[in-house]
Structures are given as structure tokens and as C-alpha cells.
Amino acid sequence: MIATIISIVTAVATTNAVPPESTWWPSDLPPRVGTPLVETDEQHDDRMAWWRESRFGLFIHWGLYAIPGGYWEGRRTGGAEWILNSVKIHPDDYMPLQQQFDPVDFDPMQWVMMAKNAGMKYIVITSKHHDGFCLWPSELTDFDVEGTPFGRDILGELAEACRNEGIVLCLYHSIMDWTRPDYLPRRAWDDRPSDGADYQRYVAYMKGQLQELVDRYQPAVLWFDGEWEGTWTHEDGQAMYDFVRTIDPAVIVNNRVDTGRTGMAGLTRSGGYRGDFGTPEQEIPATGMPFGVDWETCMTMNRSWGYQSFDMAFKPTEDLVRKLVDITSKGGNFLLNVGPDERGRFPNESIERLAEIGDWMQVNAESIHGTFASCFTELEWGRCTRRNLADGDQRLYLHVFESPTTGMVRLPGLLNAPAGRGAYLLADPAVGPLAIERDGADLTIRLPDGMVAGIDTVLVLDIEGPAIVVSAPSIDVAEPVFLESTELGFSAASDRVEIRYTLDGTAPEIGSTLAGDSPVEIRRSATVQARCFFDGSPVGTIATTALRRVEPLRAVQTLTSRPGLRWTTHLGAFERVADFADIEPSAEGIAASIDLSMQPRPENFGIRFTGFLEAPRTGIYRFSLDSDDGSRFILGDAVVVDNDGLHSALEKNGVIALEKGLHPLRLDYFEGTGQDDLILKWSGPGFELQPIRPEALKR
């Protein structure tokens, strides 16, 4: 049986990087030579150190699309940097914008100073977006800034300004290129002859441009995008990551270089995909990312990435500051976007917000730069960031968004004693020290009389040693379903608390069963609830998991069986797997394994596999279904994994008990547009998660 651990609630929030107090910035960036492509954990941490300490950067989307600014042929069309695609503009009609590009107000030092004064530590600018226009004089194309009336090397000037002010320059680079003749697939309205198009020649062109960018500007991050179209493969992503890391071993590369991103959520799925950090877009993960994963939320200041003159939906400064704090408290970075106009000017609203963020950072930057994730799962009044101190103690930064009516900030389940200077206001240490009291497992800090939180008032609390915070315990079980019996275990963040549990779904009390060191054997279905207790009082929230004793799905008997599955393909623009249930097949055949080799065209099709799956032993089986777009896996009459709907690469899991033998199988999959992908894996009695081998598939 697979040994998967189910942790209902993590007792202590942690982060993958626990940096020491910052002692350098940024002149000590890792050297461009000497770091091997295959790294030790220590070498990887050294390469990522400056980025992890930064926490806050500026994203700049700028190019020819700033000229129309969301208008085309006198009409308000929207589209911003996607206007060529969204308005279906032919490249021959779009590329003449090059002769209008003359941003006479471009002032790289002004851009850099606005970012620096806002407390940002790095800038990511679009060297080339999806339209193919380059903001540097490339030797490999004429569709670049050198061919404009402006003619200046924008990236070169910005790189120099960054170096002068201690800001780290990073470059966004699009994998897609709508105007390059060799890029495939073409837009449907692009009627340029494609007979001579060579996608691998395009990839070579892209590598040549990246070589130019690294050699000339030495970007600290290469931020890829546009990986979702089917022509860019996982193998391409692996090769590109290795290529740029070979050119510059110290460069950091985001996960969009490869095809492993799970939609806008940005987490890299399992399977050997390249990338140094995840890239959530326009969203903040509810609880951060799993331990060991670096991530960065990129977000617009209004609604658009590129400039649109009519987009006035700018987020309030309070919202932006609190987003920065929220992201930092979850161990991530915040990449906040500005779209300059056709003259090279930041919108006035962006300038105002950067200045107002800077006012807050002027006082509170210590609570952002060089800090790492909160030790609390939830705080009613705000967020927490922290840093390690040289003596082994920790400093907590308590970001108060809403002043508690009690006049006290409560730190639930914090078992550490105060240390050093105790608690004080970061903006005005002279007001402290603030009164600290122990209330059971909680610490409380009394706020100054009449304090109003405002955007975010930061308290500082030094504590002895690393933070120990007790919340809900972990409930550890192999699988939530079982045949005869299963074993249950419990764990907490500290041995100073005891864990009590129930098996009937009621809330644990001080008289409930005490969890010991030995596992608990479960022989019937149960709803397990567990809670920590400190000095006889409950601490934190209750952890819950449901366990089900099940009968295995009965195997079927067949007169004969042969290797392989039957497949049918169906044509149409589907949004659910049910959409092609009654569509006549366009083709049919036999497949030895589950793959997409029989797909009838690049986009807008469905595939159905039918046959039998042979379970080698009676037991519990887990299935992982990873697809782009939707899919559904059925055994007998049971839907084991439902991964339906339009989405990018997304992995879902399901568990079922199977009797040894053959089980009727059906797998439905459809592809809308963009990348296509379908991967089915399983684990079961005696084997770990792996692709289903052909010998287990019958018809």
C-alpha cells in the first residue's frame, strides 16, 4: 500500500529558505562563473539567496503595444500587450508600429529611482513579448528598437541605471513570437505561407537572442512566458533551462521555461520539470506554497499588464501594501507591474502608488526584506513575518491590519518566551516596551492607547529560539480508505502539548482519548478529530479526517482479452468531456498505452479510451490524472478522478479499492486550445506511483 501521509493542518508554518539576517545587498550577487549546472543544496541556496531576501520587485510590460494603448483603427478594443491576438491583427498590419515607436520621455534613471524609493530590489522588464518586438538592438532580427525612430538601446540604458542604484536587472522573454515566420502554430487569421516555417530554427533563434541578452546585460533572472502552446514541449523546456544555466550558471530561471506550470496558480507539478521558482499570476496562494518551493506572485496595479489609457481600475495603496505583506508572510515574492505609455512615462496613478508604498516601506522595510514566512496558520488581526537573529533567537514582525477591540494582539499557541527588547513599535521604538503577558499557550501584547492600525502598523517581538507555535495536530494515515484495517498516528509541533482525539466526529475535550507514541489501529469507518491541549486547555483548531472501510470493486470475467485499449477521436470545440459523448468518432484504433499519439489535430478535439485495467493484487489503488485540458477517469461505474473543464495543466488524484483482476476502464479527454497533455499514473499494493504499463491495459 502506498505510504501517503495526510496532514490535515500543519502545526508550524515554515519556509524553504530561512536566511540569516541580511549582511549584503546587492553588490555581492553570485559570480557569473564557477557554479556548476548540477548543484548541491547549498549551492542552490546561495544562488537563490539575493532573490529570497528581496521580496519585492517591479514588473514592466513595455513595447509596441503601448502605441495603440488598447485602441485599434479608432475603436476601443482592449487587449493591451495581447492586442495583436485579441483583435486578430495580421502581423503585416501590426509590425509597422515599429516606425511609430519614439518614447522621447523614456528616462531609465527615473524608472529605477521610482522602484528603489518604493522599496523594490529588482526590476523585470519585457525584453521581448509575444509580438516579437525586441527592446534591445539584436543582431538576429530587424524587428527591434534599433529599427525605430528612437533607436536607443533601452535595455542597455536601464541596465546601467540599475547598476548605478543597486537594483538588480532581470529580463522577461517570451517563448511565443507571433510575428517571427518560423514560429508555430500561426494565428488562425495569419495567412502568411507556412510551408517553409521551421520551429526548430525558431528555437535556435531564441537561443541566439538569449545568448545576446546574457552576454550584454547579465540579467540575474530570466523570466520566461508563453510556454503553453503545443509546439513547446517538456523536452524543449528542459533543454532551454540547461542552455541558459550553462551560459550563466548563476542565473535564476522561472518555471515557465518548461511546461510544468499548473495554470495561473503557478505551482510546478511533479515530473522533473525545470524552473527555480513558481509563478502565481494575479492571485496569492491561500496558504503559500509547499515546503521547499520558491514562488513569486506577479500582479497588475490596475487590470492591464501593458498600457491602456482607459484602464483606471488601480488598486488602492492600502491593498497593495497588504498584498505585499500577505505574500511575504507566506514566504513568497511580490512582482508588481507597471505598463509605461508610448512616450515612456509611467501612468500618474502608478507613480502615486509607488510613492505611497515607498512612504510605508521607508519605515517598515525591515519587516519585509530578508524575512521569511509566518509561524502562524492564521491571525485575526493581520500577518506575521520573521527573521533569525545572530544569537539563535527570532524576531517576529506583527503586521496589524485591524486594531483588536480588546487593545491586545493575541499570538495563539506561541510557546516561546520573550527575549531581548521584548515588544515595541517598529515605526517608533521609543513608545515601547509594550506589555507582554502569558495566557495559557498564547502570548498577548498590549497596544499603545488609542493606536489606529491604518494601512499596517508593525509591532516587533523578539523571542527565545526558533518559534514554536502549536495549532492543529497532524493526523497521519496511509490512505483515507482501507479494506480490513489501517493505522493512525498523530503529531504536534511541540512535546509540551498533548493530543487528544475522538473517532465519532465530536470535538475532543480534556477527557477524550490521549494519543500516545504507538499507532492506533482502525477497523471501521470513522471521523477522526484531534486537538492539542496545553496545561489542560485546548490550543488551536481541530484537525479532522474521514476514514472509510470499503469493499473492493469486484473484478469482471472475460472470455478473452488482448493487449491495448480501444480509442476514438472526436472533433469539436469542447468545454466538458460530456460535450463529445454523442459525437460520432472521426477515427478509431488500438493503443498500447495512454498517450496522445492519435490526436487528430492540434486543437479542439476529444479522445476516449475504453478497455480494461488489470489490478495485480486486491488492495487500495491511487490514481493521478494530469491533463490540459479536461479529463475524467472511470473504473466500472465509479468516477475515480474528475479533472474536467477548460484549464491548463492540472493534476488531480483519486483513491479506490480494487479486487485482483480486470476492471472496465474509460478515460475521456478533450483539448481546447494551447498546450495538450494527458498523463495517468497509479500506485497500489507493493508499488509506488508510476505510469500504467502496457501489460496492465486490456481490451
Q: What pLDDT was estimated at residue 292?
A: 77
Smallest CA-to-CA distance from 259 within 283, 284, 243, 239 is with: 239
Beta partners for residue 333, in sequence order: 296
Q: What is the pLDDT of residue 643?
A: 96
pLDDT tens digits for 640-666? 999 999 987 888 999 999 999 999 999
From the CB of residue 512, how many other CB atoms can be counted at a distance below 10 Å?
A: 18
Tell me how far CA of residue 171 lies from CA of 224, 338, 543, 678, in angstroms.
8, 15, 44, 32
How many CB atoms neighbour CB 109 within 10 A? Answer: 14
Strands of 193-270, DSSP E: 221-225, 252-253
Per CATH, which fold does 565-698 belong to? Toxin - Anthrax Protective Antigen; domain 1 (3.90.182)
Asked whether 322 and 407 are in contact (CB, 8 A), the reply is: no
pLDDT-derived band at 10, boundaries 50, 70, 90? very low
Mean pLDDT of 346-358: 98
For 254, which DSSP code?
Answer: B
**Mean predicted confidence (pLDDT) in 185-204:** 93
Q: Is the pLDDT of residue 44 over 70?
A: yes
Percent of the chain past pLDDT 70, that is, above it, reads: 95
Of 655, 658, 660, 657, the C-alpha closest to 617 is: 660
Tens digit of each residue's pLDDT (9 = 90 or more) over 297-309: 999 999 999 999 9
Q: What are phi and psi of 514, to 5 degrees?
A: -85, 130
Instruction: Summarize pLDDT for 511-527 with one digit per residue, the tens.
Output: 999 999 999 999 999 99
Angstrom distance (rounded) from CA 135 to CA 141? 12
Please give the grid coordinates belonging to residue 171: 529580463
CATH 3.20.20.80 residue window(s) in the chain = 53-367
CATH 2.60.40.1180 in the chain: give the residue spans.
382-463
d(CA 207, CA 144): 16
CATH match for 53-367 among 3.20.20.80, 3.40.50.300, 3.40.50.2000, 3.40.50.180? 3.20.20.80
Residue range 382-463 in CATH 2.60.40.1180: yes
| pLDDT for res 451 | 83
- Mean pLDDT, to the nearest integer, of 204-217? 98
pLDDT bracket for residue 36 (50, 70, 90): low
Q: What is this structure's pTM? A: 0.87
Residue 73 has pLDDT above 90, yes or no: yes
- How confident is the model over 104-108, as a mean pLDDT? 98
Average pLDDT in the 252-264 region?
Answer: 91
Is the CB of residue 64 less than 8 Å from the CB of residue 145?
no
pLDDT > 90? residue 558: no
Q: How many CB atoms lie within 10 A of CB 260?
A: 24
Identify the CATH number of the domain defined by range 474-549: 2.60.40.10
Q: Which part of the chain has CATH 3.90.182.10?
A: 565-698
The grid coordinates listed for 178 are: 507571433
Taking alpha carbons only, the member of 308, 303, 307 closest to residue 339 is 307
CA distances (Å), 230 to each of 70, 199, 208, 364, 596, in order? Answer: 28, 12, 22, 45, 12
Is 60 exceeded by the pLDDT of residue 124? yes
Instruction: Please state whether the peptide bond connecting residue 691 to the residue before it is cis, i.e. omega within 30 degrees of 0.
Output: no
**For the chain, percent of residues with pLDDT exceeding 90:** 82
* 75-76 vs 71-72, strand pairing mode: antiparallel
> Mean pLDDT across the stretch 260-273?
82
3-state secondary structure string, 163-185?
Answer: HHHCCEEEEEEECCCCCCCCCCC
